[in-house]
Amino acid sequence: MNIYLQELRAYRRFTIIWTVSLVGLVLLYLSMYPAIGKDAESFIKVLEGYPKEVREALGMHLESITSLLGFYSFTFTMITLFGAIQAMIIGTGIVSKEVRERTADFLMTKPVSRTRIMTEKLLAAASTIVFTNVIFLTTASIMANTVKTTEFDGGVFFMMTVTLFFVQLMFLAMGVMLSVILPKMKSVLPISLGVVFGFFAIAAFGATSGDEPMRYLTPLKYFDTAYIMKNGQFETPFVVTGVLVVATAITISYFVYKKKNIHAV
């Protein structure tokens, strides 16, 4: 029994739906850019009517928002949020579903170790995320070059886009950790939404308060697209923190899963 291929088949429809949703979102956002670029002054005046706190929470930077990269940076807040939800649902569900669907006993009777089970499930989950990001990056790049009114830095655009993958990896790892720590999940959706929106609330509060250390509390703020656009690089302290988050969550997942009493009912 190839657990990796089985998991890919199980999440095939889910992955396609979320990939199409994220692609549709970026197509919708970028299709608006030509109209905004032509009437930049009016667009900025509209945004100036929003409270500063709201603009900070949503990542609106008036000095750059009428450029393609600036507008993409603004829209990427919502794209990342939806991507985080996708990754969190996969992470919380890929292990806990064995208990919910009462297949844990069947899986455990097979001549495979728990380490291998966890490894193949993680690889399958990561593969779905990679698939989503490859399609998303390709589509976003084509659309950006289609709607551009002036040339933009393709390298910076690529760096901004791949942050979606890094954020999803963190939420995937945290989701897997929760799935093995919590005794039983009847439904992964409420937990996934609660965790992601909880981190989004922290990110919004940190942005409006200007509290820089609060960024370390939410993976949604580890990759600031405005900073990437301005400096052409990632922020090393947050990259290191992100790596530690993933490594810690995965390590805990393996440790708990190997020791955990798993029941099918």
For residue 265, pLDDT over 50 is answered with no
The predicted pLDDT at position 257 comes to 84
Work out how many domains the chain is built from and give that number: 1
CA distance linking residue 22 with residue 18, whole number of Å: 6
Task: Using alpha carbons, list the distances in angstroms from residue 62 to 46, 50, 56, 215.
Answer: 11, 11, 10, 22
Mean residue pLDDT across the chain: 85
Residue 242 belongs to a domain: yes
∠ CA 3-264-124, nearest 5°, is 20
Residue bearing tokens 């396609």 = 16
- The model carries a pTM of 0.89
Contact 46, 159 (CB under 8 A): no
Alpha helices of the chain — where are they, by DSSP H?
3-10, 12-31, 33-38, 40-48, 52-58, 68-100, 104-108, 114-147, 154-181, 188-209, 225-231, 236-259
Task: Using alpha carbons, list the distances in angstroms from residue 121 to 90, 106, 116, 245.
Answer: 10, 16, 8, 19
The predicted pLDDT at position 131 comes to 96
pLDDT tens digits, one per residue of 96-149:
776 555 555 555 556 677 788 889 999 999 999 999 999 999 999 999 999 888
Looking at residues 245-249, what average pLDDT do you find? 96
Residue bearing tokens 């939420």 = 171
Inter-axis angle of helices 114-147 and 12-31, nearest 10: 20
pLDDT tens digits, one per residue of 208-226:
776 678 888 899 989 988 8
Q: Which domain holds residue 242?
A: 3-259
The predicted pLDDT at position 108 comes to 56
Residue 111 belongs to a domain: yes
Residue 265 belongs to a domain: no
Per-residue pLDDT band at 7 (split at 50, 70, 90): confident
Residue 45 belongs to a domain: yes
Task: Using alpha carbons, list the distances in angstroms from residue 45 to 48, 63, 68, 208.
Answer: 5, 12, 18, 20
pLDDT tens digits, one per residue of 33-54:
888 777 767 777 777 676 666 6
Residue 264 belongs to a domain: no
